[in-house]
Amino acid sequence: MNALDSILVLADRSSEAQAAVRKASVMARHFKARIELFACDTDHAWAIDDPSPAARTAISTCLAGTERYLDALRGSVAGNDLQITTRAACANSMEEGINSRIRHLHPDLVIKTLMAVSDTKPMPPRALEMQLMRGCAVPLLVTRGRSWRPATKFAAAIELDGHDPVLADSLIESVQFLAQGCSGEYSLIRGSSVDEIQNFIEQHQIDVLVIGTPKAGSWRGPEVSVTERLLSVVECDVLIVPRTGASSTTAGLLS
């Protein structure tokens, strides 16, 4: 990651959506980036290919409601120094809607909330989040809502999924770029186990962990992947940087 001009926020209707917008606004102010707030409705997929007046009215009403929701989100952080647009869509599936928007917009960063942290531990990623992590062709920031420190602390886990020199270089470049742009700090985590990474995050009070997408097929086996286990224990935000040659589509990747 060496550029940040455009940020796409996947704004679902969860209570954590505002946290994703706040993180986007922080990064947008640092990097002078544009933000798009995007929400996709699938409840009215039945009406997409239906030319009847009732179907057209249902979609129009749905999109108008979603736009009002996005406008409210925009208003929660709006300022004269921020360029924020909104986009509502109706699609047959959430994956289809998100993938289509990423292809059209070509953002430098996508932001998505994870399920809220419980009183005892973080919740594991949901199916849609897992799918995005596997197939998103641009860096994906998954956030749990905790505020960043003014001097944001980033850390890259460069040996989480085995030693891949090309991926390691990309992670180092990304964490340096973000730390410099956000006037923060960065560290490199050499450990490869979930416990080592979790302990490092807690000891150094890391705000954002930078990792690479798992190797192809690592989410298709019967066992939980290292990345899934990591995301189920860390409470900080996680930026997932795609490997070289990562798929440009999120569709059809769930096993």
pLDDT at res. 113: 84
Residue 133 lies in a domain: no
**Is residue 102 within 8 Å of 9, Cβ to Cβ?**
no
Q: Residue 79 sits in which domain range?
A: 1-113
Residue 32 lies in a domain: yes
Residue 126 lies in a domain: no
Give buried/exposed letters for 92-119 (b at 16+ CB in 10 A, else e).
eebbbbbbbbbeebebbbbbbbbeeeee
Same domain? For 109 and 197 the reply is no
Band (pLDDT 50/70/90 cuts) for residue 61 is confident
pLDDT at res. 248: 41
Task: State how far the Cα of 81 lies from the Cα of 124, in Å rounded to an integer.
Answer: 35
Number of independent structural domains in the chain: 2
Same domain? For 104 and 1 the reply is yes
Average pLDDT in the 55-78 region? 86
Q: Round the average pLDDT of the chain to a whole number and report it.
A: 81
Same domain? For 106 and 163 the reply is no
- Checking if the pLDDT of 177 tops 90, the result is yes
Average pLDDT in the 90-116 region? 84
Same domain? For 78 and 153 the reply is no
Same domain? For 28 and 67 the reply is yes
Residue 240 lies in a domain: yes
- Checking if the pLDDT of 212 tops 50, the result is yes
CATH number at residue 14: 3.40.50.620
Same domain? For 105 and 4 the reply is yes
Average pLDDT in the 207-220 region? 75
Q: What is the pLDDT of residues 1-46, one digit of tens each?
A: 888 999 999 987 766 788 889 899 999 999 999 999 998 887 777 7
